């Protein structure tokens, strides 16, 4: 009787589990998609992709320098890079004098040594990129009650970050008629901007880029697509400045393991050469 009772209890658990699985599948098939799920688009890289993609990819310093230029002339008005020091820019191919010049173009918080009052001064290489706002209150007041995020790690904070940044910057558009017809309540609120690459489809940041906005010194075409690709590459570097070192170490480790495997196999054959089955 005990065995029969245990069997019936076990059978009951299995049956309940089966019903739960069927119910979950049924709900998944019948639950309607939300407006975000239906109209959100996945990020895509620019035409030709990025030079640093793949196991052997490397940063293009010229592109990173252009991305820095776009950041300085456009993005720095709202976004900080609080984890990046000016002296780090030497890795992009800038000389010591050029780094000092770039740093001096930013005003960083300081203290007046004579009065002890808050003040600002020209940046120096050891400083980090400053926030354009004194505090969060000022940031909210200037941006429709939204605080512009720091961009230091943005490429790592989002899935497929480089492509995400590129898609977001080039993805502003009018709301599709299909969306408004199917979800009339989802009309973009006043003060926000529709972008299908943003997770909620609407964001406070107005379209920041337009053709001809930044003049490149190397003759690269002054298009929105180029601006977006270049600043996306630059922000990937700020998030992963040691990417190339990591890749080179990974490749070296694989080569070492391959050689070690051959040596271990040879040693095994040598040690057990006289042993018969």
Spatial separation of the C-alpha atoms in residues 71 and 79, rounded to whole Å: 9
75 is in an annotated binding site: yes
CB 190 within 8 A of CB 167: no
CB 175 within 8 A of CB 194: yes
205 is in an annotated binding site: yes
Spatial separation of the C-alpha atoms in residues 186 and 151, rounded to whole Å: 29
Where are the alpha helices (H) located in 143-242, listed in sequence order?
154-157, 161-170, 177-182, 224-239
CB 130 within 8 A of CB 105: no
Where are the alpha helices (H) located in the chain, listed in sequence order?
2-30, 35-39, 61-73, 96-104, 136-142, 154-157, 161-170, 177-182, 224-239, 243-271
Spatial separation of the C-alpha atoms in residues 75 and 132, rounded to whole Å: 10
Strand-pair category, 118-122 with 193-194: unpaired
Spatial separation of the C-alpha atoms in residues 256 and 194, rounded to whole Å: 50
Going by the annotation, the residues of the binding site for heme c are 75, 78-79, 205
Going by the annotation, the residues of the binding site are 75, 78-79, 205
């Amino acid at each position: 009787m005990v065995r029969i009772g245990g069997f019936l209890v076990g059978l009951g658990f299995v049956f309940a589990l089966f019903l739960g699985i069927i119910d979950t599948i049924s709900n998944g098939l019948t639950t309607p998609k939300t407006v975000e799920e239906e109209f959100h688009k996945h990020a895509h890289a620019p035409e030709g992709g990025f030079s640093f993609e793949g196991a052997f990819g490397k940063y293009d310093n010229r592109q990173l320098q252009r991305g820095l230029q776009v950041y300085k002339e456009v993005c720095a008005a709202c976004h900080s890079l609080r984890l990046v020091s000016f002296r780090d820019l030497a890795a992009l191919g800038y000389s010591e004098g050029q780094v000092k010049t770039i740093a001096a173009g930013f005003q960083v918080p300081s203290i007046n040594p004579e009065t002890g009052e808050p003040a600002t001064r020209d940046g120096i290489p050891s400083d980090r990129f400053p926030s354009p706002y004194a505090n969060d209150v000022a940031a909210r007041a200037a941006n429709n009650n939204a605080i512009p995020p720091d961009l230091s790690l943005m490429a790592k904070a989002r899935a497929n970050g480089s492509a995400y940044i590129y898609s977001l910057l080039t993805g502003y558009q009018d709301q599709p008629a299909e969306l408004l017809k199917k979800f009339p309540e989802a009309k973009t609120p006043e003060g926000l901007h529709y972008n299908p690459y943003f997770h909620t489809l609407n964001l406070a940041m107005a379209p920041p880029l337009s053709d001809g906005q930044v003049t490149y010194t190397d003759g690269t075409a002054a298009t929105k697509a180029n601006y977006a690709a270049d600043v996306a590459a630059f922000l990937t570097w700020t998030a992963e400045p040691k990417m190339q070192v990591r890749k080179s170490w990974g490749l070296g480790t694989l080569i070492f393991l391959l050689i070690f495997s051959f040596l271990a196999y040879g040693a095994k054959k040598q040690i057990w050469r006289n042993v018969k089955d």
